[in-house]
Amino acid sequence: MPLQEVILHLLRIFLLVNSVEVPLKEVPLREQLLEYLFRDYQNYEIPGAFNKTTTVVTVYMTITEITSVDVRMMDYTTYLLLRQEWQDPRLAWNNIPRFRNYTKNLVSPKLKDKLWLPDLFFRNGKEGRIHRMTMPNYLTRISPDGNILYSQKMTMRFSCQMDLKTFPMDAQTCHINMGSYGYSLKELRFVWRPVQPIELSDGMQIAEFNSPESVVAQDCNAFSTDENSSCLNATFVLSRQLGSWFSSVYITNFLIVMASWHSFWVDIEAQPARVALGLLTLLGLITQASGISQNLPRVSYIKAIDVWNIACIIFNVSVLIEFAVASNMQCTKTRRPERWRLNAREALRAEVEGWCIGCRRAFLQRQQNVSDSNSGFVSVDLETALIQAIYPDIESRSNLLPNDILQPKVRFNNTDLTVDIHDAIVLGIDEEMEDRNYDDDDDGDDDDSNFANGAKDSGAMTEAGKRVEPESAGGEKKTKNKRRVSRIDIYSRLLFPLCFFVYNCCYWSYYLILVKKK
């Protein structure tokens, strides 16, 4: 046999053996299956178009974590596993005799680009991303009966319209709304899985909120651009924890308001101390309220935290108003003796001037006698005539004895005070009056007639008929005024805490009992 024929014969045997072994291998069968399934497959055609039926996509998800709830932006961020299942008869091979014995699922990330995928989107989603550590976190699985599973792990930020009227004792109802972006309800329909459509991870913790106890899954209908489309909705409730806000806001404000009440124990005369205490506590309340408002959205209604802050500020301002009223009463009572002091000073001044004129006349008469005896020249007639013209009643004083002229006195009926005219002349009227504390027993009447008519009851009259109030009456009145101011502070020590306690009862009863029931 020629050598060429031998080589050709061996080559035929080799090819025959290889052609028999290839179908027996599993990997080539899978490749043949993939090639067979996607030979005429069009990924832009919906599966229902093959038999003219509505494609039903079953959706279920697992919420692994809710990382944050932003009250100011009114949204929340969550990690979730989204799974979608649907039937595509074009990809079923369990009825094909050639591949009937191949019962394994086809799993490969590369299948994602070859398959038709539902156009599910989140209606209330703000932004999201697919996790890519260490590989893109999505799964595509095809079963022998044509059932397709598409799973994704993603981070989504959803909007949540919050009602903050009861903040920070609020409970927010948030949603996850999904639907078809382009297909009508007749072409594509999303449904929840009948059993546990939404699962929550165990031990999930949310800052400032209690973990939702359950999630309600509902089918909803929404409208897209022109046709009715399918949608799904998941609803859960986030209840805010009051502990952090109670310790950082409510207790702090309560202590600041209590600190402002310390001004009731400070002396009314210590005005800088009381004003500084009131302003510092007021500044603390305003600063804290401003910091809270910066972290909250600007809404058109008032919140529970605003009601609390406003009430605390009102209580603090009321402390300042109480001090202003008490201080004003004290100043008013101290000014009334000053008005009487002016009247007494004028009366004493007139008396002193009268005695001084009498003394001057006697002196001039003695000088005239001396001049007549010496030179016979009279130099005081003009001055004497001038004095008589200014003081026509001087004649009544010219008959006084020398002792009466030199030592006149203003005597008081109760003998508590005697003003020596000689001291008043030498020391001055103002100095003489400053050494004595006069007060006003008149309740705010400024007329001189009332001052003169009050001489019948108590006090003293000068020898010229003027009334002078004794010191003891003024001292008693001044002590009485201080007792009145002290009573205002004493009443405030009881009234302010009582009002604040009543306000707290009403506040917490309304927001924790009535609102929670609603």
pLDDT for the residue 129: 93
The per-residue pLDDT for 15 is 66
pLDDT (0 to 100) of residue 191: 95
The gap from C-alpha 214 to its chain's centroid, in whole angstroms, comes to: 32
In the prediction, which pLDDT does 300 show? Answer: 92
Q: Which two tokens stand for residue 515?
A: 């609102």
Q: For residues 351 and 361, what is the distance between their CA atoms, to the nearest angstrom?
A: 16
Dist CA 161 CA 172 (whole Å): 8
Q: How far is CA 506 from the centre of its chain?
A: 19
Q: What's the DSSP call for residue 118?
A: -
CA distances for 265 relative to 262, 269, 273, 463, angstroms: 6, 12, 11, 48
End-to-end alpha carbon distance in the chain: 105
Provide, for the chain, the percentages of residues in helix, strand and coil under a 3-state DSSP scheme, each rounded to the nearest 5: 50, 20, 30
- Which of the residues in the chain have pLDDT under 70? 1-4, 6, 8-9, 11, 14-27, 222-227, 332-345, 347-486, 518
How many CB atoms are located within 10 Å of the residue 290 CB?
10
Contact 285, 253 (CB under 8 A): yes
CB atoms within 10 A of CB 381: 10
pLDDT tens-digit map of 185-240 = 889 999 999 999 999 998 889 989 999 988 999 988 755 444 578 899 999 999 99
Provide the pLDDT for residue 447.
Answer: 42
Query: Exposure of 274 by Cβ count < 10 A (0-12 exposed, 13-18 middle, 19+ buried)?
Result: buried
Report which of 154, 162, 187 is spatially closest to residue 79, judged by C-alpha positions: 154
pLDDT score at 472 = 44
pLDDT number for residue 271: 86
Cβ–Cβ < 8 Å for 223, 210: no
Based on DSSP, count helices (H) and strands (E) in the chain, helices before strands.
15, 17
Give me the pLDDT at residue 51, please: 81
Taking residue 362's Cβ as centre, other Cβ atoms within 10 Å add up to: 16
Contact between 444 and 336 (Cβ < 8 Å): yes
CB neighbours of residue 450 within 10 Å: 12
Determine the Cα–Cα distance for residues 322 and 264; give it in Å rounded to an integer: 9
Whole-number Å distance between alpha carbons of 515 and 518:
5
Per DSSP, the three-state class of 375 is coil
Tell me which residue of 226, 186, 181, 225 sits closest to 56, measured CA to CA: 186
Letter string b/e over residues 171-191, b meaning 16 or more CB atoms within 10 A of that residue's CB: ebebbbbbbbeebebebbbbe
